[in-house]
Structure 1
Amino acid sequence: MATPQATPEPLLRFCDSLRELKLASGTPSLGDLSRRMPGRPSVSTLSQLLAGKIRRAPRWELVRDLVDACREHAQANGITLPHDLSSSETWRRRHGDLVRALDSAAAQRSPDNLARVLRLAPDNRLLHLGDLTDSDLGVSEPIPGAGAGYIARADFDEEMRSMLSLGGPPYPYVIAYGEEGAGKTRSAVAALRNEFPSETTVLIPRGGAAVSELRSLVDSLNQSGRPAVVWLDDLTAADLEHLTLDLLEWLSGWAVTVGTIPALRCGEILGGTRSEARAVAQAALRRACLVYLPLELNDAERAEAAWHFEGGAVPQNFARAADAPEPREMLLRLNTARSTNPIGFALVHAAINCHRAGLVRGVTRDELRRLLPPHLTLLSTSPATDAEIEWGLSWAQAPAVGGRALLQPLGLTDGEARWKAAQELVGEADSGPVPDSLWLEVIGMATPQECLMIGHQAANRDVPGYPAVAFTKASEHEEHRLDALLGLGLAQTMLGSFAAAKASYQRVVESGETAKEARAAYMLGGVLEAEGDTAGAEDAWRMAAETGHEHYAPMAQAMLALMLIDLGDYTEAESLFLTVADSGHGDAAPRAWALLGTLREQLGDLKGALTSWERAAKWNHPDVMPMLEDSVAELRTRMAELAAVQSSGPGENAEVLLERGERLRKLGHETEALAAFRDAAASENPDERARALFGVAMTLMGAKRTAEACETLEAVAECGVPRWEAEALLELGSTLYEKEDWNGARRAWSRVVETSVTGEVERASVNLGLLELRVGHHDAAAAAFRRAAEAHDPNIRAQAAMNLALLGIDEGMADDAVDAWYRIAIETEDPEFMPQAAFALGGRLVARGHTAEPKRLFEKAIESGDPDSEAHGTLLLGMLQEASGDVENAAAAYSRVIACGHANHSVHAHARLGRLCVDNGRMDAARYHLQRAVDAGHPDHSPHAGFLLGLVHCVNGEFDKAELVFQQVIETGNPDAARPAAYRLVYLRRGGGRTEEARHVWESLIEQGREPNVD
């Protein structure tokens, strides 16, 4: 047993400082401190820390929480702590100094022993992650023509990082494996840097034997209070023979063990002879969490990689992978065969992907042959001969893992032999995408009946385009026709083809089959609402509700209730919510109770709202409960405040009455608020009377009693108090403007301008400008905007300047004069209008051939802090860079916009980047980005991207894919993209001898109201 060692001096000093902090903060009890700390550490843990009875540095998280708890206790007791004791930054620095001091001391105690076993820093201290370059950790130099950046490997990164992030002890033991050159070390190092702070101790043993010697140096290894990392790159069988299970268990108590190994070597070790030493190595591999890194890149990775290689020439051995995670033993056999038996590897993956695509029956020999070429293309392997195919098939059928083959024969069906991938593989192979090149092949092989399942699988995997193809073929099967049409309608909706979707749903509605009719009507209502056809949506949802279907009728009633709320019909909406709530529908009923509570709260029925929310809570619905947790608590507080106000007595003082009225109005009790305000309006004090009448007007406005509110606002103006006169007339003008009473609004705002209340005068001026612009009085609008352009309020000044610029453009004003107004708007720094003005002025300058100032303007808008402006500005910056020939920076800008996930600009960026990739010969990346733009279903950007994607497919000889994309573009009805897409589709179908199908294309254009040119 080791002799106890004294606490190191740096650690004692650190603990003394913590005790000083506790004393200065008012000597809180350890129990009080623990209760204030998120992790609720035990009292004994805090006691040992403060007494200095520890031998290693405490975790930073524990120190941070303790400092916060002391500071919180001091603030609660009115104690002001010195900065050096209360500053988190100061304590962070102290903790870092402590860790470095302890590591240095440990190294100095046994530098010879440590240096013999581990790599050390030049000053003989243990290495930290931040000390090490990638090459220090074994990362190879980038291959010729490649940049130095890291190409993210989404599936591997997610799995590796989730493994490394597991807490402990026991801490994880993870090994990355894959083909030579796949980037195992680079990707594993990227995961380490993502999950661990730079001050993490990294132990790099000098060979496998050195790992077992770490036990003798345990007191010198890790003083940081956080797990160390033991790094074992490029493991060999000899290295693994030293990693006994006992040693691995000991390491897991204080360190995360991370290694890499080539897949071929991994397979050889696991499949080798069972010598005693080899058994240790095999057990060490089986004990590890093995994370596979495919050699090939998927679509997204290839698109990113294109910008890391000169000219976008990504090496062929980075072809897309169709790999998917499977049970360990079968996965190892399959993945380690990629180099040694690519034909067998591809045949097994073909069968797996068929099943994943929805073709769950066995596949024939001819079908395997049909699917083999695209899989070999993905592996960059040359076409297979008949003999190679038979050899690969023989290997795949050979009993291997537990006597089971990867590809299992099913015997003869209709005189043909069939095979299926092992169920163990299929059951686990569900995370990666099905290769795009496979979908049309599988749909072509399948019967209409089989296509129904394929359509659902394609829809579940979110691959727009292919579900519609599969469901169209499935609709030929009479038994499943209605189900196929329902799936087809949804697929067409996702593609933005609303007219086609409505036609599909309508065919189901007309079938008369209640269950299908209810669902179709419900879905049809959603499409019509998306198109803005409120009346049509209402009719569809009422039709679905009338079917009485147990699932879709309540859902339709709920949607109808929401629509009626928007239309102001609260009575029927409440009735519908009650009907849905009483239906017992597992999803719709709790939502209906919650929505009913919200409606009742808005209508001032607080008790009814509380009852509804309590009924909703009884369902314990995971999507409803988070909303209720806040809403119920806020409602109870509000009801308590209301009770306090109501019990306070009416009062006679006008100020008391005004305060009471305001509180009642905010709490939603309009009747009582009106009474209080009206009582206060009896005051002889003009200011109090004006305030009270204004309160009456605002309460009436909230109750939708607009006519009475307008009369009361006029009464406020007549009180003769300038402030309230201006505010009342401003509000009156806005109300009349909403009612399109232009003359009344003009009179009210003009009276505001005549007052001396600066803020209201400025707002009225800009409002008058907008009104005159609305009615076409441009000269009067310009005069009003010029007054507003001199406002003190930057928002009003910017808005006026923007409108003057737009008026100047309409009237043909000189460029310099228009630009000057935009510059005034920009100079205000107003967060709403400054970015708009910067974009507008930048665009004008670009059109005149300028680049430097537009770049500064776009960058200024990007820095405004508004997410929309950041995305829009970065997109425009990318377009500017693209126009100037700066391809690399343009691509980087578009990528940043894509990462924003903006509903409009990110789709546009995908389309722009796709076109840029086409122009620069990066065709894989072009297909990826254009497909993402198409999949987004944007009404403008998606059809144009689709047309270009179709041309790319044509250039690459992928005519079936081109036809599919062109058809999708036509169905969007986009006026600019549909016609050229139709010409291309007609050309393809005529070229294939399908004249009748070409004629149908023209007919679809005519149905959309666009007569095609016949030349």
Structure 2
Amino acid sequence: MTRTIGRIPRLPPESGLNIAILAMAADISGTREGAEMLAECAETLLANGSRAEALDWFSRIVEGGEPELAPHAALRIGDVLVDEDLEAAQAAWRYATDHGTKRVGKAGRDNMKVLARHDITPRETPATAEEVVGRAALGRGRLWVAEGDLDAAAEAFGQASDSPILEVAAEGLAYLGSALSMAGEHERAVPVLERAIATGHRRYGPMAAIDLSSILSARGQAGRAVAVLRQAQHGEGWAAAMAAVNVGVLLARELGDLGAGIAELRQVSHSPDPLAAAGGLFNLATLLEENGDADGARRAYQDAADLRQPMFSGKSAVNLGVLLTRETDFRGAEAAWLLALQIGTPEDRARAQDSLEQLSLLGDLDQARSTVEGVDLNDPDLVGTAALQAAEHFLAQGDIGAAVRSYERAMDTGHPLHAAWGAALVGLMFSYEHGSRGAEIGIGRLGEVGLGPLEARAWFFHGVLVMRRGDLAGAESAWRRVPRTARDAYPAATCLLWAVHRDPSQAEASFHWVLELAGDLTEDVVQAVLQLGRARAEQGDRAAAREAYELCHRLAARSGDATLMEQVRTAMGST
């Protein structure tokens, strides 16, 4: 029963175990000396947290059949797998009970008694060494899948698929096909999955059919995939129930029969299996929403969410929230996203949290509904404005992290004003600690999210912000970062540079181009000149301050904006 060593165990350096000696021990695992060395290796691996590797070496002892240590190794296999696979653990403990020493047998019986106290019916049928080894291979394969080591998992599932125990072999084939599919080795996966289906196992056959149908569908063989799934529906377990969901999706999306697909999904939505029912409802809702039936989609999303099945209910709650925001039912959307936080996957929870943060930017939801009818929360102007306002609120509360996140949310909108302002404000906050490099990092985030052309505007706004602090040199430095190729931000920056260098006529000439090419920057240019006047006054240069104020007044007048003109008059009257 010995196997060739195909995988060297990852032993800690301080273990003192010699790989060459262990290789020899594996070849003589049926002897007392060999089994003892393998047991030492397995226990060392287990203590080091390498459960899958430990299972492999405990299994080798069981395969070797050493009369005393093989049952003890089975006992340890059960201990390792009790939280992963109760069926495998019971088989291992039963084998240890029936074949072990008095001490090992008592330990096995005690473990079974613990299960009984937790209302788990202990296994009564004997277990063979072949079953223990096969189920241990399945267990370590699943552990390796969880660790992302698909090659090791495939090796373990391959061993299980050769088991003389039909159920173990069928499960091994199903999981081997799945691991190969996950690794992208579809050519190898297809015959393995077909073998799993051919076993006729009512639970693992449908599992293999689900994976095989995905491969066939990706190859453009949707009709064959539906046939495979129809066969799987005669089995049992979650895969048999989910086969109907996949049939409905394939009919509607791949074979172009929307009516048949919807009918199939409506039928499976009444399945006694809650996972399949939730899957049917989620896919039904998406089809209905895509085809204009918002009422039907809303009901299906809600019903799927109410089933509280993480795989589909969280996604349904997230989508329901999005649908409700389009209908300006912000309260309903809030409730849906809060539910997603409770029942969803990590991805669902992240989407729900982000949506709730955006929703919070609207302030009072009832008031928002009455004033924002028909507005999509994805509207860049709405989200950008609200994000900047929220950031000011967070700053007032001293929550710097939340403020930065709100500024970044404004950046994400891509809005020519709000995104650039958000980047400028992040740059300003970073500059407090890291100087000009911090400003570069903050504003550079626009380029990282594909909004590089807005960096010029962000540097213009950064100069405006620095000017508000009276830092004329810092403002000039920022405005000189605006390239000539920025047709809108460059005239605005040039106008202010001329103002700083006390050349009002050139500043007014540049302002003509601001009005022509960057009308949305007009107010910021005028306000920056006003701030320049205040900075000059604080420096005690009354003549330069008066010059800046007069320039500000002329620019405001040329803008033709009566509101801006009044703001300037009021501000100048208070200076």
**Does the pair score TM above 0.5?**
no
TM-score, normalised on structure 2?
0.45
TM-score, normalised on structure 1?
0.28
Higher helix content, 1 or 2: 2
